[in-house]
Each structure stands twice: as C-alpha cells, then as structure tokens.
Amino acid sequence: MTEIEMLQLSPSRISDYQQCPALYKYRAIDKLPERPGLDALRGSLVHLIIEKLFTLPAAKRDFETAVSLSSDCWSELLAAEPELVCALDSSITFPLEDKVVIGQDRLDVLFAEVKVLVANYYSLEDPTKIEPHSTEELIEFDLSPVLKIKGYVDRIDKSPQGWIRINDYKTGKSPNKQFQEKAMFQLKFYALVIYKKSQELPKMLRLLYMKDSQVLALEPNMKDIEMTLQKVESVAAQIFSSKATSTWPTQVSKLCDYCYFKPICPEFQKN
Ligand code: SF4
C-alpha cells in the first residue's frame, strides 16, 4: 500500500489552488523558483521593521526608531535571500549568477517608499500602547494524519481578559467590498487553527492596510470557523485528487497577467 504524503496547507497555498491548480503545482509541487517582485520586497521589509519594533521596550517604539531600522532590516533580508536584489533592478538576471551590489540611490528610493508605509501604519495604531502576545508565530494543527493546516501570524494580541486578537499587516491597499470576504479568509484560517489547537475562539480579526490607511475587522463566530473548515477540507480533497491523478488543470483569468509562470504555461503556448 502506498503511504499518502502529509499535505500542508496555508492560506496562500489554498488561494493558489483555487486561482489555478497549475499555479499550485508550479509552486507547491515543482517548487519552481520565482523572481521576487517589488511589492513583495516592500512587504517583507515593512513586516520585518514592525517585528523588530515590537522587540523594543514600548516607550522606544516611535516612528523615527521604526524608520531607522530600515537599513539593518534590508541587510538581514538580503543575507537570507540574496535574490531580493532582482526586485530592485529588472536588468539583473534571475536566478543570480554573481553577487550584485545595488546603488545607494536605488536603496534610498526603497527606504523612502517604506517610510511612507510605516507612517501610514502609525496612523492605524500606536505600537507604544500594544504588548503583543507573539509576533511572526508559526501556528499549526493536524486536522488528520494526512492534513496539516499552518501559517505565520504577523501578530497575536491577548487582552487582560484573555481575548485573542489576530493582526495581519498589508502593504497594499484595502480591497473593495466585493473582495473583502476573500481577503478575510486568511485570518479566518488562522482563527480556525487557533480554535482547533486551544478551543479558544479569537475575539477579533484585523487586516491593517498601509497603502490607504484602512483597517478591515471582523468578530468571528463559530459559523465562520465551521465554514472555513469546510472550505479547507474541500480544497484539500481536490488537491489529493489532483495528486492521485496527476491532473493540474490551468484556469485562465485576469490574474494570469500577474502569474510568473505565464511564459511556461500551456495556455499561453497555444497558437
Ligand atoms: S498563467 Fe494563468 S492559467 Fe497559466 S499557470 Fe498562471 S494562473 Fe494558471
């Protein structure tokens, strides 16, 4: 009997499969490398700055200190992932062949963009008044012997009464009404993992959008948890079926224009 490999699902992998099973295969099964994009780079930098900020004593978490962390955080990201320079200069070949040094002018532009996003973050909340329970915490739960649900949560807060608040930072702009439900799925997924682990239902889910200084918030209920579980199990069943039959259909949509794999996608090789 062949042993079924454990399927590990995060919100982004679920979103990939729902967008296009072929995209999921390129990323999760084939693990093809992807050139880093500028939006993702800005996002990683801002996330690391806020993470570092919360390691400081509350009184020291002012805006100037946050901005001053930019350069060190950039160096840390680059040491972990040298390919990130490709996001700053389209003429650099990917994957990297040699070490590349990015000019200070280009870095100054990046740090100026990050400064605006960090300023908008301070318009959404005051980090000197928050004591997080955890930052960048890996949460995971085995729903079955073959299905693990997991994700990294940007920040979890706990009130003195023990209420849990899940926070996720977004460096893009907030979605319009039509896409808010889809955006909130990520946090409902985290709420599901926490509920399964601890039997505690988080009190509040918050998405903090730094581009337009908006917060999307939801008080989840048990119906949200049940519906999220159903969705996770349904997508997991589809992925198991795709794996068993080696069937990964393409699903063409407007999002194909942003898909890194478009040049190798069979849909776009046709005459
Ligand atoms: S280009 Fe479109 S159809 Fe092709 S893999 Fe990407 S998302 Fe799927």
| 84-89: long-range pairs with CB below 8 Å, 24+ | 84/36, 84/41, 84/44, 86/35, 86/36, 87/35, 87/36, 87/37, 87/38, 87/40, 87/41, 88/38, 88/41
Measured CA to CA, the distance from residue 187 to residue 12 in angstroms comes to 11
* pLDDT attached to residue 122: 98
Beta strands in the chain (DSSP E): 7-9, 134-144, 147-158, 164-170, 204-209, 214-218
Average pLDDT, the chain: 96
pLDDT of 97 strictly over 60: yes
Mean pLDDT of the region 200-212: 98
Measured CA to CA, the distance from residue 9 to residue 11 in angstroms comes to 7
Tens digit of pLDDT for each residue in 213-251? 999 999 999 999 999 999 999 999 999 999 999 999 999
Measured CA to CA, the distance from residue 6 to residue 222 in angstroms comes to 27
Minimum-distance ligand 1 atom for the alpha carbon of 253? 2
Question: How many angstroms does the Cα of residue 256 sit away from the middle of ligand 1?
Answer: 5
Close Cβ partners of 145 (under 8 Å, ≥ 6 residues apart): 6
DSSP for 78-125, written as a single string = HHH-GGGGGGT-TTS-SS-SS-----HHHHHHHHHHHHHHHHHHHHH-
Reported pTM: 0.95
Question: How many angstroms does the Cα of residue 237 sit away from the middle of ligand 1?
Answer: 21
Q: What's phi and psi for 104, nearest 5 deg?
A: -60, -30
Question: What is the CB < 6 Å shell around ligand 1?
Answer: 20, 22-23, 250-252, 255-256, 259, 261-262, 265, 267
Instruction: Characterize the bridge pairing of strands 164-170 and 134-144.
Output: unpaired
Question: How many angstroms does the Cα of residue 20 sit away from the middle of ligand 1?
Answer: 6
The encoded tokens of residue 37 equal 């994009």
Total residues found in the chain within this entry: 271
Q: Give the domain ranges of the chain.
A: 7-30+132-245, 38-129
* pLDDT attached to residue 5: 82
Question: How many angstroms does the Cα of residue 254 sit away from the middle of ligand 1?
Answer: 10
Separation in Å, CA 118 to CA 1, 30, 88, 114, 252: 54, 36, 19, 6, 36
Question: How many Cβ atoms are within 10 Å of 202's Cβ, its own excluded?
Answer: 25
The encoded tokens of residue 65 equal 């200190």
Nearest CA to ligand 1 atom 5: 23
* pLDDT attached to residue 271: 57
Tens digit of pLDDT for each residue in 100-141? 889 999 999 999 999 999 999 999 999 999 999 999 999 999
